[in-house]
């Protein structure tokens, strides 16, 4: 009877060791070390912007005002998209200023700074 108990204990010990080694084999591998991005052509380091947490664009509505005019500016992701100047002088209309397009070179962006008038007809 003691032989059966001893063999049962040996069998339990072997199963325990087998389970421990199987658990050790399924342990997570260490995370790979992040290498900085390198330009394949020049071999120089490339700067990358951190990923944004939000999918929505940040939209800002800014208002500057004095005794003569009110200026409304709309920015999307920090880039000015629309500037509207409203005159406080009676009889004077409002107009829109075309902001520069960041996708164009300054010498090719002929509309930057141009005013577009709107009349109340």
Q: Are 84 and 96 in contact (CB under 8 A)?
A: yes
Percent of the chain with pLDDT over 90: 17
Q: What is the pTM of this model?
A: 0.49
| β-pair partners for 76 | 59, 79
* pLDDT tens digits, 80-97: 889 999 989 888 888 898
* pLDDT tens digits, 102-117: 888 878 878 787 777 7
Taking each continuous run of H as one helix and of E as one strand, the counts in the chain are 1, 5
Q: Are 88 and 67 in contact (CB under 8 A)?
A: yes
Hey, what are 87's tokens?
């005159």
* pLDDT tens digits, 11-24: 566 566 655 555 55
């Amino acid at each position: 009877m003691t032989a059966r108990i001893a063999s049962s204990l040996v069998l339990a010990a072997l199963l325990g060791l087998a389970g421990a080694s199987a658990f050790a084999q399924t342990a997570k591998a260490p995370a790979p070390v992040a290498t900085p991005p390198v330009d394949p052509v020049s071999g120089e380091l490339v700067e990358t912007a951190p990923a944004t947490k939000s999918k929505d664009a940040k939209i800002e509505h800014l208002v500057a005002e004095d005794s003569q005019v009110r200026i409304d500016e709309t920015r999307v992701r920090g880039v000015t998209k629309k500037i509207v100047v409203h005159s406080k002088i009676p009889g004077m209309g409002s107009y829109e200023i075309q902001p520069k397009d960041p996708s164009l070179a300054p010498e090719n962006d002929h509309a930057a700074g141009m005013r577009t008038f709107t009349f109340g007809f």
